[in-house]
Chain A
Amino acid sequence: ETGVTQSPTHLIKTRGQQVTLRCSSQSGHNTVSWYQQALGQGPQFIFQYYREEENGRGNFPPRFSGLQFPNYSSELNVNALELDDSALYLCASSLPPVRTGGRGEQYFGPGTRLTVT
């Protein structure tokens, strides 16, 4: 069984640039969620994708956007990068909410460390 994978591992960008992070879900999971983890804090929910559509969104501005592909992999795009966007970005996969009632566990990838200078 393949776990959740993310790429790249590390990334350095300049303020104002755009970035794309990628995630492949664990086999058998068709739901992908993205989280932002600032240094020394717990992860914060960005959004979730199910059946290639956004299934829910946290308190993040529209410059954070995403995609899910037919093979269930996903991308997180961030435009107009700001210094505060520096964080570990975590992708998590899970069974669909309709099967778990929205109460199922999520399995995380190793994360992408984004540094904005």
Chain B
Amino acid sequence: GNSVTQMEGPVTLSEEAFLTINCTYTATGYPSLFWYVQYPGEGLQLLLKATKADDKGSNKGFEATYRKETTSFHLEKGSVQVSDSAVYFCALTNDYKLSFGAGTTVTVRA
């Protein structure tokens, strides 16, 4: 079956620091890959996506590249802000349902 493993948190950073959250996956075929973000007390928001190998998804300064050879989809941002404090989920789908990682809590300090 499908599975997603992402870096355990929590991660605490200072404003303007570089953020990386590792994500690796196991799936048959060619899944679509996603990063979702969940702010306190809210549902999940789609942050970015990639649907085929070597695609780069990007949004709000965040980027992730679909690496089929390493089955990875690591999330990066060059300069984080306090407003980026949230829980980040890596997810995939190739059969109508989303499979999620456990989430990584990121706290950015001013």
Report A's interface with B, CB cutoff 8 A.
4, 6, 33, 35, 40-45, 48, 55-56, 58, 90, 92, 97, 102-111
Q: A42-B101, A110-B43 are in contact. Are A105 and B49 (CB under 8 A)?
A: yes
Partner of B97, one of A6, A45, A90, A105: A45
Q: Kindly state whether residue B81 has any CB partner on chain A within 8 Å.
A: no
CA of A111 to CA of B45 in the docked complex: distance in angstroms?
Answer: 12
Contact A107 B96 (CB under 8 A): no
Report B's interface with A, CB cutoff 8 A.
4, 30-32, 34, 36, 42-46, 49, 51, 89, 91, 93-103
Partner of B96, one of A4, A35, A41, A102: A102
CA of A27 to CA of B46 in the docked complex: distance in angstroms?
Answer: 17
User: What residues of chain A lie closer than 8 Å to B46, measured between beta carbons?
Assistant: 105-108
Contact A90 B43 (CB under 8 A): yes
Contact A109 B96 (CB under 8 A): no
Partner of B98, one of A41, A106, A111: A106
- What 8 pairs across the A-B complex have the smallest Cβ distances? A42-B100, A103-B32, A102-B96, A45-B97, A108-B44, A108-B43, A110-B43, A111-B43
What is the chain B residue whose CB lies nearest that of A91?
Answer: B43
